[in-house]
Amino acid sequence: MSTSKLIKVFVYGTLKKSEPNHHWLTTSSNGYSKFISCGQTSEKFPLVIGTRYNIPFLLDKKGTGNNIQGEIYEVDEMMFGKLDELEDYPTHYDREIQDIKTSDGTIVPCWLYLIRNFPEVLLSRKFLTSYTNCKEQQYCERSKRDPNIKARNDLNF
């Protein structure tokens, strides 16, 4: 049996079921993951879509925006490491523990990824409650992006 520690992660963007990066959570060679519950953040956050690649960003400005809907997963350290790799933590996204409320009112502290030191212009975008990839603003996965533009420098687009 694995002795790896189990960690709770709240995903609100492309890692959710039916979204473009969900396969990271279901690929068993990435480690262990198990869906626990749907939930929403106890705090309000601005969740916007930004850059030319239509990436969902949860901005570090608590109290602005909405209580964000997403999914709670339990993952092992190996999977958590893979998610950090996908989110380019800590260069691009940072992460922190936030209280997530499930439908029966239980509070589950979970890690979530968020963007600190973002350009103010992102606060003029529409604040979402729940992210879905759609045809009008299609998410562009990292392998298809311009390698000459670093995501961190591209937050304005």
Considering the candidates 77, 85, 87, 96, report the single residue annotated as catalytic.
87
Shortest distance, CB of residue 105 to ligand PCA, whole angstroms?
22
87 is catalytic: yes
Query: Is residue 13 part of the contact set for ligand PCA (CB under 6 A)?
Result: yes
Dist CA 46 CA 68 (whole Å): 8
Which stretches does DSSP call E strand in 30-138? 33-45, 47-50, 55-58, 66-76, 94-101, 107-114
Residue with Cβ nearer ligand PCA (76 or 93): 93
Query: Is residue 14 part of the contact set for ligand PCA (CB under 6 A)?
Result: yes
CA angle 125/126/128 to nearest 5° reads: 130
Query: Is residue 11 part of the contact set for ligand PCA (CB under 6 A)?
Result: yes
Question: Within positions 79 to 108, which residues make up the interface with ligand PCA, using CB under 6 A?
Answer: 87
Catalytic residue list: 87
